[in-house]
Amino acid sequence: MSFLKVSDVSKQYDEKNIALEKFNLQVPRGGIVSMVGESGSGKSSLLRIIAGLEVQSSGVVHLGDQKILNPQQKLVPGYDEIQLIHQEYKLYPNSTVEENIARPLLLYNKDYQKQRVEELLGLLSLTEHRDKKPKQLSGGQQQKVAIGRALSIEPEVLLLDEPFSSLDAIQKRELIEELKVIFEALEVTVVFVTHDVDDALLMSEQLLIIQKGKLIQQGNVREVFRKPVNEYVAKLFGYLNRIPGEEKTYIRPSDLRFEPNGLEAKVIKQQYLIHYNLLTVELQGKKETWKVDDASRKYEVGDKMFLTYDEDKLIRFGK
């Protein structure tokens, strides 16, 4: 059962800038999905249209039975039910954490206001920071306050447009994992947009891949990883090594094994990375250079080796 439904939405800003082309998307109530695409692929345009903050060129967005009206059709653009959060989302600098979260609730019953704010402070682990001003908080805490404020009026849908890009990697990962648990508990429907597959996967195994304004692949990460529809999708997950003499057949560095026999290769470069050494190797008698993960950190420049792989790990596009 789809809850959030995007049907054939296109967006063309001008002759040169086509942001979306007949984009279709369905998310069930309470579903959490991650959308990945390179910069300029149309992610922000899509979220703004879903939120009713941008006029589409054609197509329609539904939330349940409700048609989302765009700013040409609605006097006050946007919906309480659909909250969009992006990186530049501004908190009120002179208000405390508690006041920022309570702000959208000003017209609500006082008891409800109090109870909702307490609940969100607790869920977001912000209770001890309730009296601080935004500038006294870390970047991650500020983003949590922004999310707390967006969640205060119990929206049905939360749209996250790369909101964590300004955070450092560790802060970001912890925050995404923490928020995922909260979103699940609140049963809010979430579309999380990012250009980073690692971030996307911390939020959800359900991936949507957008390329040049089109939804080109959708599914569980296992499926997308194993059967990417094209090179763009495959490369979101890292390097690809081309199988010599074959068109569009590849193997990932992590799927190569060192064995007593196989393809002969010589190390021409070694890079020390966090979990393994990344080797660049020349295949004996072939034009290709490959990347190989060396978890044992055993191989040095100049060393020779034999590489093998399982046939079922080969990647072929278009299936």
Among 19, 35, 179, 209, binds ligand ADP (CB under 6 A): 19
How far apart are CB 159 and ligand ADP at their closest, in Å? 12
Binding to ligand ADP by residue 40, rule CB under 6 A?
yes
Amino acid in the structure at residue 140: G
Among 34, 41, 44, 277, binds Mg ion (CB under 5 A): 44
Among 42, 148, 228, 253, binds ligand ADP (CB under 6 A): 42
Token pair belonging to 115 = 């109870």
Binding to ligand ADP by residue 37, rule CB under 6 A?
yes
- Paired strand residues for 241: 251
How far apart are CB 162 and ligand ADP at their closest, in Å? 8
Contact (CB, 8 A) for 85 and 66: no
Backbone φ, ψ for residue 117 (5° rounding): -65, -45
> Judged by CB under 5 A, which stretch of 21-29, 43-51, 227-235, 236-244 contacts Mg ion?
43-51
Pairing of strands 189-194, 32-36: parallel
Q: Which does 72 bind (CB under 5 to 8 A by kind): ligand ADP, Mg ion, none?
A: none
Binding to ligand ADP by residue 73, rule CB under 6 A?
no
Phi-psi domain of 154 (left: phi exceeds 0; alpha: psi -120 through 50; beta: other): left
3-class DSSP assignment, residue 146: helix
How far apart are CB 87 and ligand ADP at their closest, in Å? 11
How far apart are CB 20 and ligand ADP at their closest, in Å? 8
Phi-psi domain of 293 (left: phi exceeds 0; alpha: psi -120 through 50; beta: other): beta
Work out the end-to-end distance of the chain between its first and last CA atoms, rounded to an integer number of angstroms. Answer: 26
Give the binding site for ligand ADP (CB under 6 A): 13-14, 17, 19, 37, 39-45
Give the binding site for Mg ion (CB under 5 A): 43-44
